[in-house]
Amino acid sequence: MATEARCIAVIPARGGSKGVPGKNLREVGGLPLIVRTVRAAKAASRVGSVYVSTDDAAIAAAAEREGAEVIWRPAEISGDTASSEAALLHVLQVLEGRDIRPERLVFLQCTSPFTSGADIDRCAAALDEPAAMAAFSAKLDHGFYWEVDDRGLAKGVNHDDAQPRKRRQELTPQYRETGSIYVMRVSAFLRAGVRFCGPTVLVPIDAPLVEIDTPEDLAVCEAIASQRGESGAGEVDLTGVEALVMDFDGVLTDDRVIVFDDGREAVVASRADGFGLEGLRKRGLPMLILSKETNPVVSARGRKLQIEVQQAREDKLAYLRGWLASRGIPLQRVAYVGNDINDLACLRAVGFPIAPADARPEVRAVAAYVTSRNGGFGAVREVADMILASSIAVRSNG
């Protein structure tokens, strides 16, 4: 069964929030919380499709730009008292109507901004144990906990307060639920209606233990992001780039194709990308569109952009080496923008590997820079602007 059918991710993200108004669109490290969560989901190799349940147009637009599919949430389950489970069940009901019946459901919350694809994969993998019906992320907690007894006096919970104080490492290990990742077998979840729908596996993770419920929580997360060097799409020094090479599908397009009834194909491209590439062409930067596929639309777009096109190149790296050698340009001086598996060899070889925001997880993992925009929606313009802003020494095409 396909990955998309086996495991999906659902991100409930309604527009209203009393504690932090507009919470799901608030930024941490230069990125809205919904964007951070969608990107984490798409970076998980075990997750097929990513769905965002929302009642808010701005959240929907941000989610769709990141490649998630929006499921509009009815008003009756969009209020302050609505449970996350209600949103999850609604998404499953909508998908059932489309004849989509996933086996596993990954439930992610935007309030945990440091979720990673690797941690999602670890939680999803916990259900490989046949007896497990659910899994969740947790973090080891070495704290001393207290409660108040019926006399109003303090009483140790995880330690005997009447005995000499133990060292933290001598306490029985205990874990705090992070609130970031939950995974359920869909069949068990539908029967129980709650996230802990049967025998449950606890998955320890190392992400910062912060959930955003107040402005103070948001400030803490912003401080953590700053300390970790996170700043939106990030920074990359493109000084010294002497050539720009791009895949076509998924880089200069959104990786979709329009098929007419006579078999002709068409794609949608970004004018913004064209303007950016024009600026580089005027600066004399050698550029190449390098595609494994053969399609007249690629040649047509190349002519419009006045950029060389090479198609039907099964071994893209071998051709790239020859193309560069004829121009005296070393691989270390090349910026390559690719989005899929057949770009990996080139990305690993060049000095400036770049991936669009919606590229395959394996591609983003090797990229020195991941654009803030998706392929076909300005990713190439973003790269072109950065090259133009750098103090580049470009070679003449002549």
Sign of CA dihedral 359, 363, 364, 370: negative
Classify domain 3-225 at the CATH class level: alpha beta
| pLDDT of 67 | 85
Closest CA to 273 of 293, 294, 247: 247
Q: What distance lies between CA 27 and its chain's CA centroid? A: 15
Q: What's the CA gap between 393 and 380, in Å, rounded?
A: 20
393: β partners? none
Listed by start position, the domains of the chain span: 3-225, 243-389
Which helix (H) or strand (E) segment is 138 a member of? strand 134-141
Residues 6/209, Cβ–Cβ less than 8 Å: no
Per-residue pLDDT of the chain (398 residues; tens, 9 = 90+): 344 458 999 999 988 777 788 889 888 887 889 989 999 999 888 999 999 999 988 888 888 888 899 999 998 888 877 899 999 999 999 999 999 999 999 999 999 999 999 899 999 999 999 999 999 999 988 778 899 999 999 998 878 888 888 777 777 788 999 999 999 999 999 999 999 999 999 999 988 888 899 999 999 998 988 877 665 544 567 888 999 999 999 999 988 877 777 777 777 788 889 999 999 999 999 999 999 877 888 888 989 999 999 988 889 999 999 999 999 999 989 999 999 989 989 998 898 999 998 888 778 877 888 888 899 999 999 999 889 887 443 444 43
Q: How does DSSP classify residue 187?
A: H
253 DSSP 8-state letter: B
Confidence (pLDDT) at 297: 85
Which residues does 385 contact at the CB level (< 8 Å), separation at least 6? 276
Is the pTM of the predicted complex or chain greater than 0.85?
no
Whether 301 and 252 have beta carbons less than 8 Å apart is answered as yes
244: β partners: 287, 335
Q: 32-66 burial, b for 16+ CB within 10 Å, e for fewer?
A: bbbbbbbbbbbbbebbbbbbbbbbbeebbebbebb
What's residue 396's pLDDT? Answer: 40
Q: What is the pLDDT of residue 3?
A: 41
Angstrom distance (rounded) from CA 14 to CA 264: 41
CATH T-level topology, domain 243-389: Rossmann fold (3.40.50)
